[in-house]
Structure 1
Amino acid sequence: MNYLCLDEYAKAWVFKHQELLIAPQQLAQIKPMTPTRSAVLWSTFISRDKDHPDFFSEDDWLCQAQHWQAQEVFWEQAFEDETAIPEQILSHLDWQDNTTVYFCNSRVEVIETRFDVFKQHWQNFMFLADGSILIGKKRPQVVQFMETGFARLGEQPK
């Protein structure tokens, strides 16, 4: 089994928040991975050595400047204003709605969903933002959501 039932996910409350309700059919598209499956994805696309963004070092591609744009995007204002995800992030990603995306919090905590679900309910995901990394299946673009309210826009190494 690759996924946890959402009710088994320790942080499921972020997707059941009373002020940010998600329809049942979309809630079904939010799939926390098992720790084992999360570890495989994390090791493949994020880091073989580090378990959490707090521990990244210059050896990790996520700490190398050539993978990131110079300008960061302030996502927290849109979050507070209860508006759509910032346009700079959307234009950077430029993914189809049915793109499978992975919201990577740590080696043992990755959430799979579709891009349209993430876009519509991005505020729920931001409760988890702690250096969290959003990647798309077979897509080079990446966004790292920092706990400071900023997001870094970049591309994975080829």
Structure 2
Amino acid sequence: MAHTYIPLEQYKRKWIFNHKDLPVTDEDKAGIKPLDQKSSMEVWNKWISNKSSRTEQFTKGDWAAKVDAWIETDHWQSAWDSEAVELPELLRNHINWADDTLVYFCYEKYQVIETRWDLFVRNWKSFLFFDDGPLLISPKKKQAVIFHQSGQYQIGHRG
């Protein structure tokens, strides 16, 4: 599946990667690739849901709506608010992907960013300036993470 990307300078949420309090290096910015609407939709339909367009709309038949998809809940907000740059511990322990693993950070059906795991790890706080239920997945891996506006996140496995 060949994707079409939006240049980061033209991405409508680009400010999250240009915030003065959480600077993202130019080198990392080059690896943060927002997908256009069509490519976002293809990723969402294939890996997340072909019924729901946002995480709060998941319904019967969506893997993420299954109770057993999510195995543990923890808080991301306190780590986000802290000076520490590391991912929350439970998340670090749950995902042991190689640095170059392709990941999708999916805000909703038409807002997906493609990047690498090491780039996400270094810049996770920037990605979470929008915390309205995004999902982190990798097409080749089963682990998944959903972030909630409540400041919590859940780790689990894609069905």
Indicate conservation of the 8 Å contact 1:99/1:137, yes or no.
no
Q: Write the deviation string for residues 7-56 of structure 1: whole angstroms up to 9, x where unpaired.
A: 11111100000011111011110000010000001000110011111211
Indicate conservation of the 8 Å contact 2:104/2:136, yes or no.
yes
In structure 2, how many angstroms separate the alpha carbons of the residues matched to 1:142 and 1:117? 17
Q: Which amino acid aligns with 1:126?
A: L
Could you tell me the TM-score, scaled by structure 2's length?
A: 0.95
In structure 2, how many angstroms separate the alpha carbons of the residues matched to 1:2 and 1:68? 31
In structure 2, how many angstroms separate the alpha carbons of the residues matched to 1:82 and 1:119? 15
> Percent same amino acid among aligned pairs?
33
In structure 1, how many angstroms separate the alpha carbons of the residues matched to 2:158 and 2:10? 31
- Unmatched segments (≥5 aa) in structure 1: none
SS at match of 2:120: helix
The match for 2:19 is 17
- Unmatched segments (≥5 aa) in structure 2: none
With 25-34 and 48-57 compared, the bigger mean Cα shift is at 48-57
SS at match of 2:43: helix
Q: Are residue 86 (structure 1) and residue 95 (structure 2) matched?
A: no
In structure 1, how many angstroms separate the alpha carbons of the residues matched to 2:6 and 2:94? 30
Shift of 1:123: 0.3
In structure 1, how many angstroms separate the alpha carbons of the residues matched to 2:61 and 2:158? 14
The match for 1:107 is 109
Q: Write the deviation string for residues 52-94 of structure 1: whole angstroms up to 9, x where unpaired.
A: 112112332111111110x301010000003211121011111
Could you tell me the TM-score, scaled by structure 1's length?
A: 0.95
In structure 2, how many angstroms separate the alpha carbons of the residues matched to 1:82 and 1:62? 31
* Count of residue pairs the alignment pairs up: 156
